[in-house]
Structure 1
């Protein structure tokens, strides 16, 4: 399953539209006012699915994952020098980034590729392509991309 993650051009808070390979909107992400990033994910009918909330006052960036109103785990940026990486503690995924921080791979505990994330250059807003091996992993893979984008956004502001 291929998703296109596209930040809205004019938006007060972080807002994104997520499209499938046919150009159909499958998710909408709305940023909410909070201390740190708070991103709510809705399906194409406007039903709430999940929330990604930055946990503040931590040494490295960390985000709580809430699905269906229940906290299921965290996404944490790992301490690295050259290539960014993240850990997802609810299922053992590990995220490895490229040196330029444009491309990422989500790797399962068994070493298989769950998803590939590719930043699209030459767009006015942040745009990513997400190739997910199993469509059932698309929501959590999207949350990983949101966390990566939030970390990059915070780094560019500071």
Structure 2
């Protein structure tokens, strides 16, 4: 099991921040595009290799993101039309989500029902801070990419209100 700490550092310009493990070592680096259309985020591992690219298309009725992993797979996060609470749909994720994803307190389970990761938002911080526990290392890149995308959606939603 590996634990990561993700602190929200998004700004409307260029973004660059580190994701550290529980010992304070930099495991991932997130770099956002500056004035680029469509908006993209690239996540690098500690050796500087590209882990994933997150793209937010511009001309869509409701927000959605495509996350392309370095291994060639990709999945999508799409906002669904609702009147009450925000709802999102995941396409091609390959994992089941349990819990409250938009309050950032949820688990990801594989097809056998085994928990592969847990993400929880820490309270009482000036910026959004998430504790990410990954139980199966093969899912680490996917989970970190998902967390960064959700964090960006949360920043967009809070800045628009």
Calculate the TM-score normalised by the size of structure 2.
0.78
Q: State which drifts further: 48-57 or 5-14.
A: 5-14
Deviation at 1:127, TM superposition (A): 1.4
The residue that corresponds to 1:98 in the other structure is 100
Q: 1:77·1:87 contact (CA, 8 Å) conserved in 2? A: no
Deviation at 1:69, TM superposition (A): 8.3
Q: Secondary structure at 2:103's aligned position in 1? A: coil
Change (3 A) 1:11 1:18: farther
How many residues were matched structurally? Answer: 157
Map 1:123-134 → 2, pairs under 5 A: 123-134=125-136
Deviation at 1:85, TM superposition (A): 4.7
Q: Please report the RMSD computed on the Cα atoms of aligned residues, expressed in angstroms.
A: 2.9
Q: State which drifts further: 37-46 or 139-148.
A: 37-46
Structure 1: any 5+ residue segments left out of the alignment? none
Calculate the TM-score normalised by the size of structure 1.
0.80
Deviation at 1:19, TM superposition (A): 1.1
Q: Distance in 2 between matches of 1:65 and 1:10?
A: 20
Structure 2: any 5+ residue segments left out of the alignment? none
Q: Distance in 2 between matches of 1:35 and 1:144?
A: 21
Q: Distance in 2 between matches of 1:73 and 1:31?
A: 19
The residue that corresponds to 1:144 in the other structure is 146
Change (3 A) 1:145 1:9: closer
Q: 1:83·1:101 contact (CA, 8 Å) conserved in 2? A: no
Q: State which drifts further: 98-107 or 127-136.
A: 98-107
Q: Distance in 1 between matches of 2:159 and 2:116?
A: 30
